[in-house]
Amino acid sequence: FTQFRIILGDFNFTEVEEANRILGPIYFTTFVFFMFFILLNMFLAIINDTYSEVKSDMAQQKAEMELSDLIRKSYNKAMVRLKLKKTAVDDISESLRQGGGKLNFDELRQDLKGKGHTDAEIEAIFTKYDQDGDQELTEHEHQQMRDDLEKEREDLDLDRSSLPRPLSSRSFPRSLDDSEEDEDEDSGHSSRRRGSSSSGVSYEEFQV
């Protein structure tokens, strides 16, 4: 009981010193020091454990957000490339129709350059789909180009559907206070709607 009172700061050092002039002060000082050290360590351990837990959660959430953003950026870049490729294929289709089903490299290059395509892009497409190497793009080779484009589009759509949802403030667990505030807001909206209806004008008509 006396030691508990010492921890609380309720003590009489004079009485301790009178009990034993040498051991009394030594015992008192040692007891206070060790108890203060133990309690301080417990307090710091609790703070450190809580800080580590919060820091770990924040790092995990940040990693998920970065991964989601990276996937979405990659998808957007792929969609841009696909759109550019589709534009080139559509231009080639028009050139083939004008050329009667066949189109050589020089004609294709001249036509596509006039529509804003680069030499590297034109040469890459022509080299990939000119299967017989005759420097002419036939209707069959053009159809193969369109089939590859459609397959690439389907793969991108499949990747898009499997993307994780981006993290937002609604993804985090909400506290009881937030839920109560939402309930208060909902009840307030409901009361305003009932008040508007009772005055002769409905809430929907008022919004219109």
The answer to which of 93-102, 110-119, 139-148, 161-170 has the lowest mean pLDDT is 161-170
- Dihedrals φ, ψ of 136, to 5°? -135, 140
Q: Does 2-167 carry CATH code 1.10.238.10?
A: yes
With a cut of 50, say whether residue 171 has pLDDT above it. Answer: no
For range 73-87, the mean pLDDT: 69
The predicted-structure confidence for 13-25, as pLDDT tens digits, reads as follows 677 677 777 777 7
The predicted-structure confidence for 114-142, as pLDDT tens digits, reads as follows 766 677 777 777 777 777 666 676 777 76
By three-state DSSP, how is residue 31 classified?
A: helix
The residue with greater pLDDT, 25 or 165, is 25
With a cut of 50, say whether residue 201 has pLDDT above it. Answer: no
For range 42-69, the mean pLDDT: 78
